[in-house]
């Protein structure tokens, strides 16, 4: 049996889950050979970071195309010769664990020779890397360092991660016994005799290739984990107390008793609290009835015009700041007009030109139709406006005017309405209100990866094709927000009339 970084990665990404490690080893019959878009897209984005560092190293020995049969022999020979920079070296170690022989495979991105010894370096599209926020790369580095020691008889002198901003971060070397214990846990999850329990979560499970499979299991038993926004430790504590289903929650608790219920958080147990208890019981009752509930009287602006507002951006990369490549706008209400803007390149001048073109369009809209809400979903649009105001400045005070008119529909719904859904994600609510996309297999990650493909291709026809797909995806987001807003207005009127 083999154990490599893929097994470790599958535990941590998209989110920590022992059940996924088991399912990767024992996939459901209908999913044999299944591949997650998440892993493919993540690998492609990390590759761009890898190439950034590759180009800045002096004449690396590139082993990335060496055949599996030869790569370890070539790698060991390169180590003995103290080659200064090795790209994609690979070594193995036969580990005896509970009378089972396991082949451990280590393949750091870069192996760098210094006078004191070798440095192992990894590359990731991340800004900060710790045991908690990027456990995958932390434990992969620990694993590789331990395998390197077992194989070579010496520890690497340092572990490094080249991050998305071009900085080299240092990780600690393994403490005694921790790697063996972690690898033992991974093997236990892989070889479990039955499917381990793990709470489902719409946000954490969204990009997992086993999401539908696990979700169907949860729905078949009306699992308490279907109540959204519950911490995994709270779910496990409720199950331990006998609350296994959504129906059991209001049957077992009222607001006071649920407020006092405690669950572990870090070193201490803490009570659920009144606010969270009230929200949990409201959601459970809405799920059982199948009907939405207004908690408060929402105050939406009275206006003949609404601007749907949705941005797409490339995250910060080594040598490149975060950049908006698609300024998505669609004017709705008494006038209907698509006002999208997309950039065909990522250079600073194009970034600046697109920003001011966006402001000019908004200036024209304000002059023609007056003040109106800029409806967006979540905090990203507000963040980008502040980012670009600082980067390039304002014109005619338009950006500040947009900021004053921002309306976060996600927060409005979350604060005022209980909807019997697992998530307040736009793609979940839009289906609930009856909106259907023509582009089902797209998403924010898909958009970024394909935009990077479009700006890097020399094939003009292919670039134009991708740009059209990106605009279509963004237009679907804008139309979905409008449909949700219309549904919400109708819901408010229904509640007022009754």
For residue 281, count other CB atoms closer than 10 A to its CB: 18
pLDDT band at 363 (very low <50, low <70, confident <90, very high): very high
Residues in Cβ contact with 290 at an 8 Å cutoff, skipping those fewer than 6 apart: 420
Q: What are phi and psi of 322, to 5 degrees?
A: -60, 135
What is d(CA 45, CA 125) in angstroms, rounded to the nearest whole number?
Answer: 7
Per residue in 411-427, pLDDT tens?
999 999 999 999 999 99
**According to the model, what pLDDT value does residue 309 have?**
98
Per residue in 427-440, pLDDT tens?
999 999 999 987 76
Longest dimension (CA), the chain: 82
What is d(CA 128, CA 123) in angstroms, rounded to the nearest whole number?
Answer: 12
How much of the chain, in percent, has pLDDT values that exceed 70? Answer: 96
**According to the model, what pLDDT value does residue 321 have?**
87
Position 375 pLDDT exceeds 70: yes
What is d(CA 199, CA 228) in angstroms, rounded to the nearest whole number?
Answer: 11
Position 166 pLDDT exceeds 90: no
Contact status, residue 359 vs residue 399, Cβ threshold 8 Å: yes
Per residue in 446-483, pLDDT tens?
788 888 888 888 899 999 999 999 999 999 999 999 99
Q: Which class for 434: exposed (0-12), middle (13-18), buried (19 or more C-beta within 10 A)?
A: exposed
Per residue in 99-114, pLDDT tens?
999 999 999 999 999 9
**According to the model, what pLDDT value does residue 446 have?**
78
Position 132 pLDDT exceeds 90: no
Residues in Cβ contact with 7 at an 8 Å cutoff, skipping those fewer than 6 apart: 21, 24, 186, 190
Q: What are phi and psi of 446, to 5 degrees?
A: -60, -45
Q: How many residues does the chain have?
A: 498
* Distance separating the N- and C-terminal Cα atoms of the chain: 65
Rg of the chain in Å (alpha carbons): 26
Quote the Cα angle for 157-162-163, to 5°.
Answer: 140
Position 32 pLDDT exceeds 70: no
**According to the model, what pLDDT value does residue 389 have?**
97
For residue 280, give the nearest of 311, 315, 252, 319 by alpha carbon: 252
The arithmetic mean of pLDDT across residues 121-138, rounded, is 86
What is d(CA 254, CA 273) in angstroms, rounded to the nearest whole number?
Answer: 12
Name the residue with higher pLDDT: 1 or 131.
Answer: 1
**According to the model, what pLDDT value does residue 318 have?**
72
What is d(CA 185, CA 18) in angstroms, rounded to the nearest whole number?
Answer: 9
Contact status, residue 294 vs residue 491, Cβ threshold 8 Å: yes
For residue 481, what are the CA distances in angstroms to 403, 408, 475? 18, 11, 10
**According to the model, what pLDDT value does residue 327 have?**
97
For the entire predicted model, the pTM comes to 0.78
What is d(CA 16, CA 8) in angstroms, rounded to the nearest whole number?
Answer: 10
3-state secondary structure the chain: CEECHHHHHHHHCCCCCHHHHHHHHCCCHHHCCCCCHHHHHHHHHHHHHHHHHHHCCCCCEECCCCCHHHHHHHHHHHHHCCCCEEECCCEEEEEEECCEEEEEEECCCEEEEECCEEEEEEECCCCCCCCCCCHHHHHHHHHHHHHHHHHHCCCCCEEEEECCCCCEEEECCCCCCHHHHHHHHHHHHHCCCCCCCCCCCHHHHCCCCCHHHHHHHHHHCCEHHHCCCCCHHHHHHHHHCCCCECCHHHHHCCHHHHHHCEEEECCEEEECCHHHHHHHHHHHHHHHHCCCEECCCCCCCCCCEEEEEEEEEECCECCECCEEEEEEEEEEECCCEECCEECCCCCHHHHHHHHHHHHHHHHHHHHHHCCCCEEECCCHHHHHHHHHHHHHCCCCCHHHHHHHHEEEHHHHHHHHEECCCCCCCHHHHHHHCCCCCCCCCCCHHHHHHHHHHHHHCCCHHHHHHHHHHHHHHHHHHHHHHHHHHHHHHHHHHHHHHC
Per residue in 281-293, pLDDT tens?
999 999 999 999 9
């Amino acid at each position: 049996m083999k154990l490599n970084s893929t097994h470790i990665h599958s535990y941590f990404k998209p989110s920590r889950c022992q059940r996924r490690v088991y399912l990767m080893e024992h996939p459901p019959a209908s999913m044999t050979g299944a591949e997650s878009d998440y892993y493919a897209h993540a690998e492609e984005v990390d590759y761009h970071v890898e190439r950034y560092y590759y180009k800045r190293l002096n004449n690396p020995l590139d082993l990335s195309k060496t055949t599996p049969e030869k790569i370890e022999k070539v790698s060991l020979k390169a180590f003995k010769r103290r080659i200064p920079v090795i790209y994609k070296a690979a070594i193995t170690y036969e580990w005896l664990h509970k009378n089972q022989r396991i082949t451990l495979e280590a393949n750091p991105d870069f192996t760098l020779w210094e006078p004191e010894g070798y440095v192992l370096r990894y590359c990731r599209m991340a800004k900060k890397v710790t045991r908690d926020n990027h456990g995958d790369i932390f434990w992969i580095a620990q694993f590789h360092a331990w395998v390197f020691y077992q194989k070579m008889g010496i520890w690497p002198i340092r572990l490094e991660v080249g991050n998305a901003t071009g900085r080299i971060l240092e990780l600690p070397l393994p403490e005694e016994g921790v790697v063996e214990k972690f690898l033992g846990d991974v093997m236990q999850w892989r070889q479990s005799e039955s499917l381990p329990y793990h709470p489902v979560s719409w946000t954490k499970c969204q990009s997992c290739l086993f999401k539908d499979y696990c979700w169907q299991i949860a729905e078949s038993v009306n699992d308490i984990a279907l109540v959204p926004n519950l911490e995994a430790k709270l779910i496990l504590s409720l199950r331990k107390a006998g609350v296994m289903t959504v129906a059991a929650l209001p049957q077992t608790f009222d607001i006071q008793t649920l407020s006092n219920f405690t669950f572990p958080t870090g070193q201490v147990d803490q009570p659920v609290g009144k606010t969270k208890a009230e929200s949990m019981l409201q959601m459970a009752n809405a799920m059982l009835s199948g009907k939405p509930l207004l908690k408060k009287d929402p105050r939406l602006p009275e206006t003949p015009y609404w601007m749907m507002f949705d941005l797409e951006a490339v995250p910060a990369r080594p040598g490149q700041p975060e950049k908006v490549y698609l300024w998505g706008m669609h004017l709705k209400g008494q006038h209907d007009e698509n006002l999208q803007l997309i950039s065909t390149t990522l250079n600073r001048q194009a970034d600046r030109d697109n920003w001011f073109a966006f402001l000019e369009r908004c200036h024209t809209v304000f002059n023609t139709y007056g003040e109106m809400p800029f409806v967006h979903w979540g905090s990203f649009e507000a963040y980008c406006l502040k980012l670009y105001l600082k980067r390039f400045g304002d014109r005619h005070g338009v950006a500040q005017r947009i900021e004053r008119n921002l309306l976060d529909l996600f927060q409005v719904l979350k604060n005022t309405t209980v909807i019997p859904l697992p998530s307040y994600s736009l793609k979940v609510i839009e289906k609930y209100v009856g909106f259907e996309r023509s582009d089902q297999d797209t998403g924010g990650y898909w958009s970024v990866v394909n935009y990077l493909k479009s700006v890097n291709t020399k094939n003009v026809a292919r670039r134009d094709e991708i740009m059209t797909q990106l605009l279509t995806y963004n237009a679907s987001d804008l139309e979905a927000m409008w449909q949700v807003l219309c549904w919400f207005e109708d819901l408010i009127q229904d509640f007022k009339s009754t």
